[in-house]
Amino acid sequence: MKNIKLSITALILATIFLFVSTHSTYEYFDNERRDKIFKKYENFDCNQMKNQFYVDLKNHELKYFFSGYIENQKLRSELKKLGIEDFYQGCVINVHSECYDELLGKYLKKEKNVDLENLWK
Shared-domain flag, residues 38 and 56:
no
Shared-domain flag, residues 16 and 52:
no
CA distances from 89 to 8, 38, 41, 103, 108 (A): 46, 9, 12, 18, 21
Shared-domain flag, residues 50 and 29:
no
Alpha helices in the chain (DSSP H): 2-42, 46-58, 73-81, 97-107
Shared-domain flag, residues 65 and 99:
yes
Shared-domain flag, residues 75 and 108:
yes
The model's pTM is 0.76
Higher pLDDT, 120 or 10: 10
pLDDT surpassing 90 at residue 121 = no
Shared-domain flag, residues 20 and 73:
no
- The reported pLDDT for the residue numbered 105 is 93
Would you place residue 31 in the very low, low, confident or very high pLDDT band (cuts 50, 70, 90)?
confident
- The reported pLDDT for the residue numbered 56 is 96
3-state secondary structure of 113: coil
Q: What is the pLDDT of residues 42-93, one digit of tens each?
A: 889 999 999 999 999 999 999 998 877 777 788 888 999 999 999 887 777 7
Instruction: Check if the beta carbon of residue 94 is closer than 8 Å to that of residue 42.
Output: yes
Question: Which residue segment(s) compose the domain that 54 sits in?
Answer: 45-121
Q: How many domains does the chain have?
A: 2
Which residues have CB under 8 Å from 70's CB, separation 6+?
Answer: none
pLDDT mean over 17-43: 89
